[in-house]
Amino acid sequence: MEYLLIEKIDGIGVITINRPDVLNAMNAGVVTELSTAVSDFIQDDEVGVIILTGSGEKAFVAGADIKAMQQMDSNDALDFGKAGQEMTLIIENSPKPVIAAVNGFALGGGCEIALACHIRIASENAVFGQPEVLLGIIPGWGGTQRLPKIVGTGIANELIITGNHISADEAHRIGLVNHVVAQDELLDSCKEIGKIILKNGPKAIAISLQCIYESFNKSIQDGLAVEVDAFAKLFSTDEAKEGMTAFVEKRKANFRS
């Protein structure tokens, strides 16, 4: 791929956005390649966890390519926005956990990509923000939708309409990221979480993620109905039988043989 580095290590697929000369800014080509790369890993039976990161030490993704956006009219912007939204939906709806390894700037579209991931780990130098209003536009890849659900409406309102940047520590305080680690420990920390996840049942992981995200906009009653139905169906799977038998037999479960 032209804009991405792809590697696969011990069941973990790592996708690195590789445009360090422009702080890994997203153009239409990167959007297309990232959608394809995540989809490919979803279909790859050798991969159980996906990590997204950016090349270099300065940026995860510093946003969309402003020079490219400057040339867009409304029709172009609609196409670009829809492509970006589809990309974030592929990430969010992945049955395999997607971990954002956020190194440096995660602004605009970069923040929105991180928001679509299931787990976000930040390096100490990470910076988050939705600064689109500074350009006279708004987030277009899900920032107005996902950020309030993760950090609450009041904080999301402030971040989006001020365009302010926040530090990794502040992002952790408000629940935007799960952990903050040293820059040189970022990828290893994400891989360690990935190794823990890989010990668990892949169907159970996928169904857990599905229940969580399907219930975002449901009442508690409707969400519980989704959950209990999925809970019951898993009992008929070989995975569940192996997990419970292994527990009773006091051994490690073998879910991925």
CATH of the domain at 218: 1.10.12.10
How many domains are contained in the chain?
A: 2
| Residues 143 and 210 grouped into a single domain | no
Question: Which pLDDT value is given to residue 60?
Answer: 97
Around 60, how many Cα atoms within 13 Å sit in the side-chain half-sphere?
Answer: 34
Question: Which pLDDT value is given to residue 172?
Answer: 98
Residue that is written with structure tokens 């000369």 in the block: 21
| Residues 101 and 215 grouped into a single domain | no
| Residues 216 and 128 grouped into a single domain | no
| Residues 29 and 73 grouped into a single domain | yes
> Within a domain: residue 254?
no
> Within a domain: residue 31?
yes
Active site residue 132: yes
Active site residue 124: no
| Residues 240 and 145 grouped into a single domain | no
Q: Which two tokens stand for residue 67?
A: 């020079």
| Residues 188 and 223 grouped into a single domain | no
Residue that is written with structure tokens 């679509």 in the block: 116
| Residues 73 and 176 grouped into a single domain | yes
Q: Which of 198, 214, 240 is the last residue of a domain?
A: 198
| Residues 24 and 78 grouped into a single domain | yes
Question: Which among 132, 158, 192, 242 is annotated as catalytic?
Answer: 132
> Within a domain: residue 241?
yes
Count of C-beta atoms within a 10 Å radius of residue 155? 17
Count of C-beta atoms within a 10 Å radius of residue 199? 11
Domain harbouring 101, CATH code: 3.90.226.10
Question: Which pLDDT value is given to residue 6?
Answer: 98
| Residues 64 and 14 grouped into a single domain | yes
Question: Which pLDDT value is given to residue 213?
Answer: 86
**Strand 105-107 to 98-102 pairing:** unpaired
| Residues 234 and 108 grouped into a single domain | no
| Residues 168 and 144 grouped into a single domain | yes
| Residues 108 and 67 grouped into a single domain | yes
Q: Using one digit for the tens of pLDDT, what is the confidence trace for 103-121?
A: 999 999 999 999 999 999 9
Question: Which among 7, 57, 86, 112 is annotated as catalytic?
Answer: 112
Q: Measured between alpha carbons, how far is 147 from 153 in angstroms, rounded to an integer?
A: 8
Q: Using one digit for the tens of pLDDT, what is the confidence trace for 50-92?
A: 999 999 989 999 988 888 888 888 888 888 999 999 999 999 9
Decide if 99 contacts 119 (C-beta within 8 A): yes
> Within a domain: residue 257?
no
> Within a domain: residue 255?
no
The residue range of the domain holding 193 is 4-198
